[in-house]
Chain A
Amino acid sequence: MHELSIADAILDSVRSEAEKRPGAHVTKVGVRIGALSGVEPEALSFGFSALVQGTALEPLDLVIELVPRRQRCKACDLTFEVPEDVLTCPHCGNGETLMVGGDELDLTYLEVEG
C-alpha cells in the first residue's frame, strides 16, 4: 500500500502548480495509470481524498485514466494491447514481443478555475 505516497506526490505537484497561479483554484487533476504500474486505482482515490479533506485544496477531484499493457511484436512490428497477459502477437502469432507501455504513472493535466 504505497498509494498514499503516490497521492502525496500528486498533491505536491498540484500545490506547486497552484503557487504559480495566485488566485486560481485547481479543481481537477488527471492521472494516467498503467496496468503494470503497481498502483491500485481505488486505493489511490481513497488516499487522495483523505489527504485533500480539510485542506485549502478542497474541492479537488482526481480523474484516473487506466491504460493497458502494450507490447510490440519483434517480427511484424505491430503494437497491441494486452488484456490478459497473453503476450503473443495477435497478428502473426510470434511469441517474441517487447513491452512498450503499461507502466505509466503520469500526471496528465490540471483543470484550473479563476
Chain B
Amino acid sequence: MGRVVLEKKVLSENDRIAARLRESFATHGILCVNLISSPGSGKTSLLERTLECFPEGKRVAVLTGDIQTDNDARRLARFGFPAKQITTGGTCHLDALRVERALADWPLENLDLLIIENVGNLVCPTSYDLGEAAKIVMLSVAEGEDKPLKYPSIFAKSELLILNKIDLLPYVPFDMAKARDYARQIHPGMEILEVSCTTGQGLEDWMEWLDKRAADLHR
C-alpha cells in the first residue's frame, strides 16, 4: 500500500480541545494565562499575592496543577475566589482535557480572569496548549540565570518572564543582567518583570501587566 501522508500535529486531539477552550474564553471575555516554572520558583506565592490584591467581587478563578496533594488549592481558596486543584497523578503537565473537565462545573459567564498554575516543570507543559491567551514563565533568582538557554522552548513561547525572589539577590550568585540577556536572546522583545512575593516589590507591575493584557483582549 506504501506511504500514507498524514501531516498533522501529534497532539492534534489536545489542540482541538484547546481551540474549543480558547473560543469559549473569547466568547465569555475571559483572559486566561498559563503560568509555568520549575518546582519551587514561587508560582503559588505569586498567586497568593495576586489574589490578596484583588478586591472582593473580582471575577477571577485559579486552576492549579500538581502531581499529588491539593495543598495549593487550599492555600489559594482562603482568599475567597474559586480555586480548584487538578491532581495529575504522576503526569508532569496539564493538558487541555484536564482543564476542560475542571472547568465543566464552573459558570464561565462569572469570570473575567482565569489563571492556570501548571505543574512545576520547564519542559513538558511547553507542548500542551491549554487554550490560554498567554503563557507566562517564572524563574527565581535562586535558580541559574542560564535557564533560558537550557530550556529555550518555554522562554520562546512565553509572552512574559517573571523573575521572582529578587529580595534574595544579595545572597545568591544570580546575574540579573545575564538572565535578561539570555531570555531576550531566545525571545527578542520578551517582556520581563522583576518581583519579590516576599517583600511585594514589583507586584504592582505584575498587576498592571494583567490589567493591560485583559484590556488588550477587549480591544
Contact = CB atoms under 8 A, between A and B. Distances in A.
Interface of B is mostly: mixed
Interface string B152-163: 111011000000
Contacts, number: 96
A37 interface: yes
Contacts of B4: 17, 109-112
Given A1-B124, A2-B127, A112 B1 contact: yes
A59 interface: no
Chain A residues touching B, range:
35 or more
A110 B6 contact: yes
Contact of B185 (A10, A87, A96): A87
B189 A96 contact: yes
A35 B149 CA distance: 13
B179 to A, nearest CB: 15
Given A106-B8, A109-B3, 16 more contacts: A1-B92, A5-B91, A9-B10, A13-B6, A24-B1, A36-B152, A36-B153, A38-B124, A85-B152, A99-B156, A99-B187, A105-B10, A107-B7, A109-B4, A112-B2, A112-B4
Interface of A: 1-2, 5-6, 9-10, 12-13, 17, 21, 24, 31, 35-39, 69, 85, 87, 95-97, 99, 102-103, 105-114
